[in-house]
């Protein structure tokens, strides 16, 4: 009895995994069809014109860009996935076609420096604050309450202005 259930388990697992593999393979390269403009633009949006600076490929109006969009259409029709098409563009035209630098080598600095700088700023402000801060009780004696202070300020302002009127 036990061997039977083991056998069923083995078969179902085998079927399951083979389905996964097939599914994964199918997901990689879809079946060929004519891509719509929107599908082309969705990928072109993420790429930048290799020649004209800082213009996304879906907006660029030059003939060269037209050809590159045609290339995307061609590759989509052939069933290439988005990632594969982008990689193809990088291989052909270099890293600058991507909207952000690929995270390798020196490019890590792009992503690391801003958070580090901001944290450094937080640290500096914290140090400054600690140095500036006086113990709370020292201040209570000379304190007015928070809400009163605003009204007080307006008060004094009004008095001053009133006194200047003839």
Partner 1 sequence: MIANFGYGTLVITFVTALYGIGAAVYGVRKKAQEWIDSARLAMLLTWPLLTVTALSLIYLLVTGHYELEFVSSVTSNSMPAYLKVTSLWGGQAGSLVFWSWLMSAFASAVTLRKWSRDREFLPWVIVVALITLAFFLMLVIVYENPFSRLWQLNGGRVVSAMYQPAGSQLYRPPDGQGLNPLLRHPGMVIHPPMLYLGFVSFVIPFAFAIAALVTGRTDDRWIRLTRRWTLVAWLFLSLGLILGGRWAYDVLGWGGYWGWDPVEIAAFMPWLTGTAFLHSVMIQEKRGMLKHWNMVLIILTYALVIFGTFLTRSGVLSSVHAFAQSGIGPWFFAFIGLTFITSMSLLMRRWNELKSEAHMTSLLSREALFLLNNLLFIGILVVCFWGVIFPLISELVTNQKVTVGPPFYERATAPLFAGLLLLMGIAPLAAWRHSTMKTLGRAVWKPLVFSLLVLAAVFATGIRSWGALLGFWLAAFVTSVTLYEFWRGALARRRRSGESLPLALWRLAGRNRRRYGGYVIHIGVVLMAIGVIGIEVFQTETQGTIAEGETLSLGNYAVKYESLATFDVADGRNVARAVVSVFKNGKYVGELHPRRDYFYESQQPMTIPGVRSTWEDDFYVLLVDWQPITSQGATFKIYHNPLVNWLWLGGFVFIFGTMIAAWPDRESELAVEKARRTKYAAAKA
Partner 2 sequence: MDELQSATMQPENSEPPAGRGGRVTLFGLKLSPGALVAWIALLALLVVLALGLIRAQEGPVGVGQQAPDFTLQTFDGQTIHKTDLEGKVVLVNFWASWCKPCEAEAADLQAAWRYYQTDGEVVFLGVDYVDTESAALKYINKFNITYPNGPDLGTKISQDYRMSGVPESYIIGRDGVLAHTQIGVFNSVEHIRSVIDPLLEQ
Cβ at position 149, least distance to partner 2 in Å: 24
Does 136 sit near partner 1 (CB under 8 A)? yes
Instruction: Tell the burial category of 104 from Cβ atoms under 10 Å away from its Cβ (0-12, 13-18, 19+).
Output: exposed
Cβ at position 35, least distance to partner 2 in Å: 16
> Scanning residues 33 to 52, which ones bind partner 1 (CB under 8 A)?
36-38, 41, 48, 52
Does 54 sit near partner 1 (CB under 8 A)? yes
Which of residues 125, 139, 154, 157 is near partner 2 by CB under 8 A?
125
Indicate left, alpha or beta for 105 from its phi (over 0: left) and psi (-120 to 50: alpha).
Answer: left
- Closest Cα to residue 28, out of 37, 39, 20? 20
| Closest to partner 2 by CB, 42 or 71 | 71
64 binds, among partner 1, partner 2, none (CB under 5 to 8 A by kind): partner 2
Task: List the end-to-end C-alpha distance of the chain, in Å, as a whole number.
Answer: 110
Which of residues 1, 61, 141, 166 is near partner 1 by CB under 8 A?
61
> Which residues make beta-bridge pairs with 98?
47
Q: Quote the tokens at residue 93.
A: 């035209």
| Closest to partner 1 by CB, 24 or 132 | 132
> Scanning residues 90 to 119, which ones bind partner 2 (CB under 8 A)?
90-95
Q: Which residue has the tokens 């393979």?
A: 25
51 binds, among partner 2, partner 1, none (CB under 5 to 8 A by kind): partner 2
Nearest-5° Cα angle at 98, 95 to 102: 65
């Amino acid at each position: 009895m036990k061997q039977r259930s083991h056998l069923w388990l083995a078969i179902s697992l085998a079927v399951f995994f083979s389905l996964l593999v097939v599914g994964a393979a199918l997901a990689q390269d879809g079946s060929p069809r004519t891509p719509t403009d929107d599908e082309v633009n969705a990928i072109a949006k993420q790429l930048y014109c290799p020649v004209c600076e800082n213009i996304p490929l879906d907006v660029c109006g030059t003939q060269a860009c037209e050809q590159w969009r045609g290339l995307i259409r061609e590759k989509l029709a052939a069933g290439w996935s988005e990632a594969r098409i982008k990689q193809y563009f990088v291989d052909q035209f270099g890293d600058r076609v991507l909207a952000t630098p690929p995270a390798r080598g020196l490019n890590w600095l792009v992503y690391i420096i801003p958070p580090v700088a901001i944290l450094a700023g937080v640290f500096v402000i914290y140090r400054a604050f600690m140095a500036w801060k006086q113990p709370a009780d020292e201040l209570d004696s000379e304190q007015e309450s928070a809400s009163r202070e605003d009204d007080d300020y307006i008060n004094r302002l009004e008095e001053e202005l009133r006194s200047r009127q003839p």
